[in-house]
Structure 1
Amino acid sequence: MDASPARPTVTQLRLSAFKSHRRAAFPLAPLTLFAGASGSGKSSVLEVYEALARLGAGDELGDVFDDPAGCIPEQAGADAQGRRGFRIGCTVDGPAGPVELDLAVQAEPELRIVGERLTAGGKLLLSTALRDPARPTVQAAWHTAGNVPVTRAPLPDDRLGTALLPLRVAGRTEGQRQVLAAAEQVVVALRSVFACDPQPQRMRRPATVGEGRLRRGCDNLAEVLYRTQSECAIRHKQLVAAARAGCSGPVDAVQAEELLNGTVRAVLGRGDRSATPVGRLGEGELRYLALALVLLTGPGVLAVDPAGEVPPAMQSLTVLADGFDRSLDGRQTRELVALAAAICGQGHIRVVGTAAHNSSAREVAGATVVDLSA
């Protein structure tokens, strides 16, 4: 019986040589929080995940790494040609089984991908290598298993080769179909990411009504509430319950109200008392409310393009939340982690985040806490 998950899912991140990490491999559960002291490398894990996600979506290497020299492992020496770089990778589980993607990136003297390996079931499906430093390409070889066992062709050195395979592989032979299935599984999993970092000061302002998709900084929180309060009564009721658990004072409503200038603002209903504009809330309450909204919405509301290759019911979205407990007290952290565990348990959303303190998160069943200070 095949125990592989139906939804393409990143189940391990590898920071083989990246900043302070060497030979590090981190399994990912549905809800994984990386904890540890400042400088322990928590944010580096999320940085690698987001970088792989952007490369999987087709972004150029230079757009993904704006400070590549800063990604080079500490005290890493240069080779005879003065080259230094870093290595990252991941494992993606899904219908094609576990598929491993590993990248070697040259950061100096110029940024380029100098090696890429895509492996499944112990079989090397794609490999690339830099043959001529004067050319902006790498030599790629992918599994064919036809009359010609391996197909060779140049690929750009500033793009993820795995993401380009669906455009290069015909799928005529069994080997080609295996390559396509593995590549598409990796790309679908990597693209299904929403990186979130709520910015309380921006969230205090009224928002203009538009398409109603929540942005990374959650600064258009009021606009999204204006849309969602009428679209899904069940999820909105859950949001109200979450706000009641994490915000001070009585809360019986979370909604957006129209202002005279065509904008909307978010408010908390206080029963018989006057409603409180969220602009008056503290930073912890605002971050708590924004993260709860992220967990209780989904691809149709969050500013992320779902993968068209997979039916919506079979997709899994991963939320990346650096500073998951930032500005939150212990009670708010426990409530938010509990909400995340409940939502992640349903299978459609996964969370990978960082936490400065792990004691509150460890108290919640369903949360996996990785302490990098240990």
Structure 2
Amino acid sequence: MTVFPRVPTAEPPVGKDRPQVTELRLSAFAGHRAAVLPLGPLTLITGPSGSGKSSALAAYEALARLCAGAELPDVFADPVACVPERARADRQRRRGFRIGCTVDGPAGAVRLDLAVQAEPELRVVGERLTRDGLVLLETALRDPGRPVVQAAWHTAGSAPVTRAPLPDDRLGTALVPLRVAGKTDGQRLVLAAAEQVVVALRSVFACDPRPSRMRAPVPAGRIGAGRLLSGCDNLAEVLWRTRAECSVRHGLLVSALRSGCAGPVTDVRAEEVADGAVHAFVERGGGVRTPLGRLGDGELRFLALSLVLLTGPGVLAVDPVAEVPQAYQSLTVIADGLDRRLDARQVRALADLAARTCERGHIRLVGAVGDASWAADAAGASVVDLERDGTT
């Protein structure tokens, strides 16, 4: 795995008040072994076909969904596919996988590591939350016959740790606020570390625009309730909303489209017609308009990705932490095949938009790309090159 250094930005980095995932660890996951991926404000993961770009993003998304409270079966539909191919089963025929991350923020650098058993049944078998080598939360499977793991969290009171069972189909870190009282300094440290990890991971939007589904009109108010879905199926509905809510961001979107769409672009609009559906189209000037259905696949993907970069959690189908002020949260967009179906001109325009947006610190982008040679022109971009020999 080759890592190219980030290009320094002109503005100072965002402060530590905003929790951010700075490292993704794939200790044993799919084709990855002992892989450590550093993550910056704008990170591009590249490598040959089969090097594990998609699986790396899948692991990131899995951690995000678990932090949002999802259960294992909902997150890992095919858990056996997550097990490294060469992993051998033990005497009880058990096999599994291990992933983790580091989150920097007010509580310092907090590490989350998770071990999941995929066979013979899906369950958490171990979890560890640490800071500076201090174990804040640790779980382990003690009795395979019970659907629980034994948890111990740092207390630093009359007893050094507190022990209690936790379900084996959920992430313990996400359950900490429900179980830890916060009466001692040790407990408050555990709560702060867990909150930092949850805040950084919950506001993740996995985006993979599907042009075939973006061409059709959208039934008004029926799909996504005005929030953009991961596949951008309801793009027309969201364009209708964003144009009315923020003229500044809409103007930036139109400006971006002039670089990413063929022909003149004066506006992009959406309107409801008699059948109750919302149709979107590009204004060309002089009364000429092009329905979204007539745009090329690359143009549609460019439009959707630009819209994502210019909006925020209130517009995207993400699960931010309602109890935490928005100023302390940042949206992370993960995009598999970020440059898929985009031509060189569109890639350069999207890279420039991503660099300017991520530089402000409100949005972070982790994208998998087939070719990252253009990253040198994107200020602040870091490139993680996955080489097959380094991750298997």
Alpha-carbon distance, 1:178 to partner = 0.4
Q: Distance in 1 between matches of 2:43 and 2:289?
A: 35
SS of aligned partner of 2:194: helix
How do residues 21-32 of structure 1 correspond to structure 2 at under 5 angstroms?
Answer: 21-32=32-43
Q: Distance in 1 between matches of 2:376 and 2:343?
A: 14
After TM superposition, the score normalised by the length of structure 1 is 0.97
- 8 A contact 2:68–2:319 mirrored in 1: no
What's the Cα RMSD here? 1.2
- Name 2:27's counterpart in structure 1: 16
Alpha-carbon distance, 1:260 to partner = 1.8
- 8 A contact 2:220–2:272 mirrored in 1: no
How do residues 1-374 of structure 1 correspond to structure 2 at under 5 angstroms?
Answer: 5-210=16-221, 211-272=225-286, 274-373=288-387
Q: Which amino acid aligns with 2:64?
A: A
Alpha-carbon distance, 1:331 to partner = 1.1
Alpha-carbon distance, 1:146 to partner = 0.3
Which portions of structure 1, spanning 4 or more consecutive aligned residues, are displaced by more than 4 angstroms? Answer: none
Q: Which amino acid aligns with 1:175?
A: G
- 8 A contact 2:42–2:355 mirrored in 1: yes
Q: Distance in 1 between matches of 2:191 and 2:272?
A: 49
Q: Which runs of 5+ in 1 are unaligned?
A: none
Q: Distance in 2 between matches of 1:112 and 1:246?
A: 45
Change (3 A) 1:273 1:371: farther
Q: Distance in 2 between matches of 1:117 and 1:321?
A: 28
For these two proteins, the number of residue pairs brought into alignment is 372
- CA deviation profile, 1:210-237 (whole Å, cap 9, x unmatched): 2311111111111111111111111000
Higher relative contact order (CA 8 A, sep 6+): 2
Alpha-carbon distance, 1:257 to partner = 2.5
Alpha-carbon distance, 1:361 to partner = 3.1
Q: Which amino acid aligns with 1:91?
A: T
- CA deviation profile, 1:69-93 (whole Å, cap 9, x unmatched): 1111121111122111111000011
Q: Distance in 2 between matches of 1:217 and 1:68?
A: 23
Q: Distance in 1 between matches of 2:318 and 2:367?
A: 18
Alpha-carbon distance, 1:349 to partner = 0.5
Q: Distance in 2 between matches of 1:102 and 1:194?
A: 21
- CA deviation profile, 1:74-123 (whole Å, cap 9, x unmatched): 21111122111111000011110110000111111111110100001220
SS of aligned partner of 2:108: coil
Of the structure 1 ranges 187-196 and 253-262, higher mean CA displacement relative to structure 2 is found in 253-262
Alpha-carbon distance, 1:321 to partner = 0.7
Percent identity at matched positions?
Answer: 70
Q: Which amino acid aligns with 1:339?
A: L
Alpha-carbon distance, 1:363 to partner = 2.8
